[in-house]
Amino acid sequence: MAKDRFGRNIHYLRISLTDHCNLRCVYCMPEDMTFRPNAELMQDDEILTLTRLFATLGFDKIRLTGGEPTIRRNVVDIVRGISETEGIRSVSMTTNGLLLSKLAQPLADAGLERVNISIDTLDADKFKRLTRWGKVEEVIEGIKAAEKAGLTPIKLNAVVVTGYNEVDVIPLAGLTVENPWQVRFIEMMPFGGATEFQLTQMVTADQIREQVEDKFGPLEVVNGGKLDGEARLFRLQNGIGDIGFISSVTSPFCSSCTRARLTADGILRLCLLREKEIDLLTPLRAGATIDELRALILDAVWDKPWGHGLENGTIAVNRVMSEIGG
């Protein structure tokens, strides 16, 4: 079991399969993003080696991220290898959904259990403006394919950005009237590459909730008000799905954080919004022993910060979102 100095049991690993993406969302990366060459990224066997190592330390929950994880070659085989790793009890994925119409069933057959799908608006023109060239119709097809394949409960992630999609909160929330999905509204977080944009155009969770309640009436508390991961859940009075608010900036959940992140280039990061990183890929390739790698991980976990530090003006600028993994 890997514990930090505050007594938190760190057991949830988010593995980025690639920093590459088939979209260029305005809050995630610059339009002219330069990606790392494949040789600098973890290879399939390296991902599985590190997964097995983390599993021996008590990490039992894996989420695959990116970039866009579904564009990774052999993604189905990677999912199968991770799901078959002793000690891993849960494998999920965050994706933009564009390729799920083809991949949802093979991924489910390989052991993937759930997906979070990013969709910030249902409006085709706004979607293209936010993602710079995406087609929302393909995401909707992906959502349907994921549901058919049993990758449930379906969770839809929406980042709300001033001047882009703040009025689209209502139709997104309305999806929960007839669908057993969880629509989660996420506060935009500041990162390198788009920091000023993210700081000035964030819409807070309270502002989003006010919009929803103005339209649909008071929300009903779900789960006794307890966090579901990082989201506080509510339900429309006539809804069958849930609405979640992830207020990472205005009301962070750092005190209950149990996660670590492994970037596509093999860097361990214990806080999404902190710059400190520990390189695992270089020593792995240099022939480090399992015990040496285990010591690196445990030392990093022990030193995990209490919080992200945004309230003190601490902003991580060494990587954009796509280079870390959501």
**Per-residue pLDDT tens digits of the chain, which is 326 residues long:** 799 999 999 999 999 999 999 998 887 777 777 888 999 999 999 999 999 999 999 999 999 999 999 999 999 999 999 999 999 999 999 999 999 999 999 999 999 999 999 999 999 999 999 999 889 999 999 999 999 999 999 999 999 989 899 999 999 999 999 999 999 999 987 766 555 656 678 899 999 999 999 999 999 999 888 888 889 999 999 999 999 999 988 888 888 999 999 999 999 999 887 889 999 999 999 999 999 999 999 999 999 999 887 776 666 666 776 677 77
Helix (H, G, I), strand (E, B) or coil at 124: helix
Predicted confidence at residue 275, as pLDDT, reads: 82
Predicted confidence at residue 170, as pLDDT, reads: 98
Predicted confidence at residue 199, as pLDDT, reads: 64
Residues belonging to the chain? 326
Contacts of 37 (CB under 8 A, 6+ apart): none
- Residue in 73, 113, 116 with CA at minimum distance from that of residue 94: 116
Tens of pLDDT, residue by residue over 234-292, are 999 999 999 999 998 888 888 899 999 999 999 999 988 788 999 999 999 999 999 99
CA distance 236 to 295: 48
Predicted confidence at residue 135, as pLDDT, reads: 95
Backbone angles phi, psi at 108, to 5 degrees: -65, -40
Task: For 156-167, give one letter per residue: b (16+ CB within 10 A) or e.
Answer: bbbbbbeebbbe
Give the helix/strand (H/E) hosting 307: none
Q: Which long-range contacts (CB under 8 A, 24 or more apart) does 132-136 make?
A: 132/23, 132/24, 132/25, 132/26, 132/31, 133/23, 133/24, 134/23, 134/96, 134/98, 135/98
Predicted confidence at residue 125, as pLDDT, reads: 95
- Residue in 308, 245, 240, 297 with CA at minimum distance from that of residue 272: 308
- Residue in 58, 63, 179, 172 with CA at minimum distance from that of residue 126: 172
Tens of pLDDT, residue by residue over 131-164, are 998 899 999 999 999 999 999 999 999 999 898 9
Concatenating the DSSP letter of every residue in 19-83 gives: S--S---TTTS-TTPPPPPGGGSPPHHHHHHHHHHHHHTT--EEEEESS-GGGSTTHHHHHHHHH
CA distance 24 to 68: 10
Predicted confidence at residue 193, as pLDDT, reads: 55
Q: Is 4 in contact with 271 (CB distance < 8 Å)?
A: no
CA distance 281 to 135: 35
Distance of CA 181 to the CA centre of its chain: 17
CA distance 235 to 179: 12
Give the helix/strand (H/E) hosting 301: helix 290-302
CA distance 267 to 64: 15
Fold of 12-324: TIM Barrel (3.20.20)
Predicted confidence at residue 50, as pLDDT, reads: 98
